[in-house]
Structure 1
Amino acid sequence: MNESKKQSVWGSYKFPIILMSAIIIGSLLGIILGNKAQVLKPFGDIFLNAMFTIVVPLVFITISSAVASIASLQRLGKILSTLLVVFILTGMIASLIMIITVNIFPPAQGVKIELPQAEELKPLNTADQIVAAITVTDFPDLISRKNMLPLIIFSIFFGLAISMLGEKARLVVDGLNILSEAMIKMVSIIMYYAPIGLGAYFASLVGSFGPQLLGSYARAMVIYYPITIIYFFVGFAVYAYFAGGKKGVKTFFKEIISPAVTSLATQSSIATLPVNLEAAKRIGIPKDIREIVLPIGATAHMDGSCLSAILKISFLFGLFGIPFTGIGTYISAAIIAVLSGVVMSGVPGGGLIGEMLIVSMYGFPPEAFPIIATIGYLVDPPATMVNSTGDTVAAMIITRILEGKDWMDRNLG
Structure 2
Amino acid sequence: MSEIISKRSIFKSYQSMILLLIGIITGCIVGAVMGEKAQMFKPFGQIFLNLMFTAVVPLVFFSLSSSVAKMTNMKRLGKILKNALLIFFITGIIASIFIIAVVTVVPPAQGVSIEMGTYDEASQMNMMDQVVKALTVSDFNLILSRNAMLPLIIFAIAFGYCVSFVSKERGLINNPVTDFLDICSEAFMKMINLIMLYAPIGLGAYFASLVGTYGSELINAYARAVIMFFPICIVYFLVCFTAYAYYAGGVRGIKAYYANILPAVVTSLATQSSIATLPTNLTGTKRMGVPEDISDIVLPLGATIHMDGTALTTLMKIAFLFGLFNMPFTGLNTWITAIAISVMSGVVISGIPGGGMMGSLIIVGFYGFNPDVIPIIVTIGMLTDAIATMVNATGDAVAAMMVTRRVEGRDWMDKTSDQTYAPLEDVKAS
- Structures share fold, TM-score greater than 0.5: yes
Of 219, 222, 226, the match for 2:224: 219
More displaced 10-residue stretch of structure 1: 115-124 or 368-377: 115-124
- In structure 2, what is the Cα distance between the partners aligned to 1:81 and 1:6? 40
Deviation of 1:170 after TM superposition, in Å, equals: 4.2
Give me the identity figure in percent.
54
Instruction: Specify the SS of the correspondent of 2:275.
Output: helix
Deviation of 1:259 after TM superposition, in Å, equals: 1.6
- In structure 1, what is the Cα distance between the partners aligned to 2:156 and 2:23? 36
Q: Aligned AA for 1:76?
A: L
More displaced 10-residue stretch of structure 1: 282-291 or 232-241: 282-291
Aligned to 2:353: 347
Aligned to 1:119: 120
Q: Aligned AA for 2:404?
A: T
Aligned to 2:287: 282
Aligned to 2:421: none
User: Is the aligned partner of 1:68 residue 2:69?
Assistant: yes
Of 247, 262, 284, the match for 1:257: 262
Instruction: Specify the SS of the correspondent of 2:364.
Output: helix
Aligned to 2:380: 375
What whole-Å deviation, never above 9, does each CA across 1:310-369 have from its counterpart, x for those lacking one? 111000010011111100000100110111222122526x72221222122221111110
- In structure 2, what is the Cα distance between the partners aligned to 1:173 and 1:78? 28
More displaced 10-residue stretch of structure 1: 163-172 or 18-27: 163-172
- In structure 2, what is the Cα distance between the partners aligned to 1:391 and 1:236? 10
The question of whether the paired residues in 1 share the 8 Å contact of 2:64 and 2:352 is answered with no
Of 210, 217, 225, the match for 2:215: 210
Aligned to 2:37: 36
RMSD: 1.9
Q: Aligned AA for 2:316?
A: L
Aligned to 1:138: 139
More displaced 10-residue stretch of structure 1: 250-259 or 202-211: 250-259
Instruction: Specify the SS of the correspondent of 1:405.
Output: coil
Deviation of 1:38 after TM superposition, in Å, equals: 0.6
Structure 2: which 5+ runs fail to align? 419-430
Deviation of 1:136 after TM superposition, in Å, equals: 2.0
Aligned to 2:195: 190
Deviation of 1:43 after TM superposition, in Å, equals: 0.7
TM-score by length of 2: 0.90
The question of whether the paired residues in 2 share the 8 Å contact of 1:71 and 1:160 is answered with no
Correspondences of 1:15-34 after superposition (within 5 Å): 15-34=16-35
Aligned length: 412
- In structure 1, what is the Cα distance between the partners aligned to 2:14 and 2:286? 29
Q: Structure 1 residues 98, 127: closer, same or farther in 2, change over 3 A? A: closer
Q: Which has the larger radius of gyration?
A: 2
Structure 1: which 5+ runs fail to align? none
- In structure 2, what is the Cα distance between the partners aligned to 1:60 and 1:333? 23
User: Is the aligned partner of 1:88 residue 2:89?
Assistant: yes
Q: Structure 1 residues 28, 133: closer, same or farther in 2, change over 3 A? A: same
Deviation of 1:269 after TM superposition, in Å, equals: 1.2
- In structure 2, what is the Cα distance between the partners aligned to 1:78 and 1:67? 20
The question of whether the paired residues in 2 share the 8 Å contact of 1:344 and 1:353 is answered with no
Instruction: Specify the SS of the correspondent of 2:370.
Output: coil
Instruction: Specify the SS of the correspondent of 1:353.
Output: helix
More displaced 10-residue stretch of structure 1: 256-265 or 352-361: 352-361
User: Is the aligned partner of 1:109 residue 2:88?
Assistant: no
Q: Aligned AA for 1:160?
A: Y
What whole-Å deviation, never above 9, does each CA across 1:163-212 have from its counterpart, x for those lacking one? 33325264344443443333323222211111101100000001011111
The question of whether the paired residues in 2 share the 8 Å contact of 1:123 and 1:329 is answered with no
